């Protein structure tokens, strides 16, 4: 009968309204943050029941996971896209899932037209637009061409692309050279300075990087990326350490490859002056690592996340090339002076590939400076962000480790089932493009992948 002699010890489950009421009347309690699986949707819950746990799924996921974490990306070359991936004339690759011209957001349309001018397929935007509208330009996702591109993600035939060799599987992936900050094609800027820089990349910087990289015998990226993660980079919004480490390795090779000191100095300055230089390298490494996981039958792991400024799309290891799309969210974040949320373009770019390999927003704990920069708070919030992602991933990365978590691995292997069950969707760190073409970057922030992509994928897995 001691039950009535001591104060009650209360455990509340689910709705926090119970806990709040008790707190108001001075009763201490322990609250268990529980929600019904799949937000209480009985159909999805039944589907989850069928898919959890199933030995064949778990073993397929183990195979896909091994590919995701044991990929061995090596930066081996830089050459024009028509040589590296056989990209034909009058084809423009873009970020994200496939998208027709009429549905493209203005910055993406502006970048497509700018690329057509740069290639000399049309003299001005009006003629370029006519070519597109008459169907004389093929538009395709980078992902279909073993490539990825940040923001608008534009790639055309003459643009030099970095070549990443995945030595664990023998496949390759590609990305353009990061153009730097300010007015750049990837943010939809399209004036003469943008085209002038693209030509310099094509005629000078690209060939020199290619010669240097071929002579180097390749630069191992996995250890470099692991190191940069311990230096405050999450390799999406912050690449300063990785860029500096790569620059340090690359410089002697560039010096050997350069014909004259002026050309070398300009490339060294360009590479050294861009803290985001490594972003495109990290993305191509992500693509090289994830491609072999696509097509592991039965696996429920996410291997692609990408946005085209209109839709967010994911691809799942067990579901092959099929995209599951939903309208893309607009990032929340910090804006450069003079800009605000009303100026922001919805989320865009293939860069969310890094979140699928345990970097970017999912590794926020490694990068408190980014948490600040993207408006996600301080150290505590950064740790919480990574902790939350552990609920939807199946493993800790054996190579990408986070010093502030006592070297625990970054969360990797996003499982569609866990996303639907918990309602927690992957967190992505991202740049924010202005929605008016030609503006460029106006801020940086975080964005969530839309849940609808994952519920569709779950339904397909249940078929």
Decide: 277 and 246 in contact? Cβ < 8 Å: yes
Q: Please tell me whether residue 245 binds other proteins under the rule CB under 8 A.
A: yes
Q: How far apart are CA 229 and CA 219, in angstroms?
A: 17
Q: Please tell me whether residue 230 binds other proteins under the rule CB under 8 A.
A: yes
* Bridge-based pairing state of the strands 10-13 and 29-32: parallel
CA distances from 291 to 20, 78, 344, 377, 410 (A): 48, 20, 31, 34, 20
**CA 431 to chain CA mean position, Å:** 11
CA distances from 196 to 112, 115, 117, 176 (A): 16, 12, 11, 16
Q: Which of 252, 320, 340, 462 binds other proteins (CB under 8 A)?
A: 252
Token reading at 281: 């390298």
We find the least distance from the C-beta atom of residue 285 to other proteins, in angstroms, to be: 18
Size of the site for other proteins (CB under 8 A): 38
Phi-psi sector, 325: left (phi>0), alpha (psi -120 to 50), beta: beta
Q: Please tell me whether residue 231 binds other proteins under the rule CB under 8 A.
A: yes
Q: Which stretch binds other proteins (CB under 8 A): 53-61, 257-265, 351-359, 434-442?
A: 257-265
CB nearer to other proteins: pick between 186 and 238: 238
Provide the sign of the torsion angle of the four alpha carbons 45, 66, 395, 423, taken in this order.
Answer: negative
Q: Which of 158, 176, 243, 325 binds other proteins (CB under 8 A)?
A: 243
Q: Give the residue carrying structure tokens 């004259």.
A: 260
Q: Please tell me whether residue 266 binds other proteins under the rule CB under 8 A.
A: yes
Q: Please tell me whether residue 218 binds other proteins under the rule CB under 8 A.
A: no
Q: Which stretch binds other proteins (CB under 8 A): 40-48, 108-116, 291-299, 402-410?
A: 402-410
Q: Please tell me whether residue 251 binds other proteins under the rule CB under 8 A.
A: yes
Q: How far apart are CA 106 and CA 102, in angstroms?
A: 10
Provide the sign of the torsion angle of the four alpha carbons 355, 358, 361, 367, taken in this order.
Answer: negative
Candidates 425, 449, 452, 447; CA nearest to 330 is 447
Q: Which stretch binds other proteins (CB under 8 A): 129-137, 160-168, 224-232, 281-289?
A: 224-232
Q: Give the residue carrying structure tokens 């060799």.
A: 165
Site for other proteins in 345-374 (CB under 8 A): 368-369, 372
Q: Please tell me whether residue 241 binds other proteins under the rule CB under 8 A.
A: yes
Q: Please tell me whether residue 332 binds other proteins under the rule CB under 8 A.
A: no
User: 3-class DSSP state for residue 347?
Assistant: coil
Q: Which of 404, 422, 423, 452 binds other proteins (CB under 8 A)?
A: 404
Q: Which of 49, 182, 378, 462 binds other proteins (CB under 8 A)?
A: 378
CB nearer to other proteins: pick between 132 and 366: 366
Q: Which of 5, 342, 406, 463 binds other proteins (CB under 8 A)?
A: 406
Q: Please tell me whether residue 223 binds other proteins under the rule CB under 8 A.
A: no
Q: Which of 98, 247, 423, 438 binds other proteins (CB under 8 A)?
A: 247
Q: Please tell me whether residue 390 binds other proteins under the rule CB under 8 A.
A: no
| Distance in angstroms between the alpha carbons of the first and the last residue of the chain | 56
- What stretches of 76-160 show up as alpha helix (H) in DSSP? 81-84, 106-119, 125-133
Q: Please tell me whether residue 217 binds other proteins under the rule CB under 8 A.
A: no
CB nearer to other proteins: pick between 264 and 395: 264
Instruction: Return residues touching other proteins (CB under 8 A).
Output: 227, 230-233, 240-241, 243-245, 247-249, 251-252, 254-256, 258, 261-262, 264-266, 268-269, 271-272, 368-369, 372, 378-379, 403-407
């Amino acid at each position: 009968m001691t039950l009535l002699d001591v104060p009650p010890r209360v455990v509340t489950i689910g709705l926090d309204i119970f806990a709040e009421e008790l707190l108001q009347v001075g009763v201490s309690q322990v609250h268990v943050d529980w929600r019904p699986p799949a937000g209480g949707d009985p159909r999805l819950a039944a589907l989850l029941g069928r898919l959890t746990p199933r030995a064949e799924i778990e073993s397929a996921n183990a195979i896909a996971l091994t590919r995701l974490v044991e990929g061995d990306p090596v930066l081996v070359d830089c050459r024009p896209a028509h040589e590296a991936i056989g990209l034909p004339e009058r084809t423009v690759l873009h970020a994200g899932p496939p998208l027709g011209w009429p549905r493209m957001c203005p910055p993406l349309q502006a970048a497509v037209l700018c690329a057509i001018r740069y290639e000399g397929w049309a003299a001005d935007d009006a003629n370029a637009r006519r070519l597109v509208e008459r169907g004389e330009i093929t538009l395709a996702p980078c992902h279909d061409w073993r490539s990825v591109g940040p923001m608008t993600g534009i790639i055309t035939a003459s643009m030099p692309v970095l070549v990443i060799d995945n030595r664990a599987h023998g496949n390759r992936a590609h990305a353009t050279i990061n153009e730097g900050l300010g007015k750049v094609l990837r943010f939809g800027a399209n004036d003469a300075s943008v085209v002038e820089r693209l030509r310099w990349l094509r005629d000078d910087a690209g060939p020199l990087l290619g010669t240097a990289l071929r002579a180097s015998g390749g630069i191992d990226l996995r250890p470099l990326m692991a190191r940069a993660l311990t230096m405050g980079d999450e390799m999406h919004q912050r690449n300063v350490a990785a860029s500096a480490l790569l620059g340090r390795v690359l410089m002697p090779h560039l010096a050997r490859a350069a014909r004259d000191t002026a050309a070398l100095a300009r490339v060294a300055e360009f590479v050294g002056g861009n803290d985001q230089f490594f972003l495109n390298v990290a993305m191509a490494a992500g693509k090289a690592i994830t491609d072999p996981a696509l097509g592991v039958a039965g696996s429920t792991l996410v291997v692609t996340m990408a946005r085209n400024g209109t839709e967010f799309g994911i691809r799942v290891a067990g579901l092959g090339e099929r995209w599951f799309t939903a309208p893309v969210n607009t990032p929340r974040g910090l804006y450069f002076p003079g800009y605000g949320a009303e100026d922001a373009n919805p989320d865009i770019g293939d860069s969310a590939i890094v979140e699928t390999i345990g970097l970017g927003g999912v590794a926020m704990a490694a990068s408190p400076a980014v948490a600040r920069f993207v408006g996600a708070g301080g150290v505590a919030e950064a740790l919480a962000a990574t902790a939350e992602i552990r609920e939807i991933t199946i493993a800790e990365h054996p190579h990408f480790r986070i010093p502030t978590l006592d070297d625990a691995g970054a969360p990797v292997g996003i499982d569609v089932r866990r996303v639907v069950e918990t309602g927690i969707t992957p967190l992505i760190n991202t740049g924010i493009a202005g929605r008016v073409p030609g503006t460029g970057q106006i801020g940086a922030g975080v964005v969530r992948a839309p849940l609808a992509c994952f519920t569709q994928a779950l339904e397909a897995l249940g078929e």
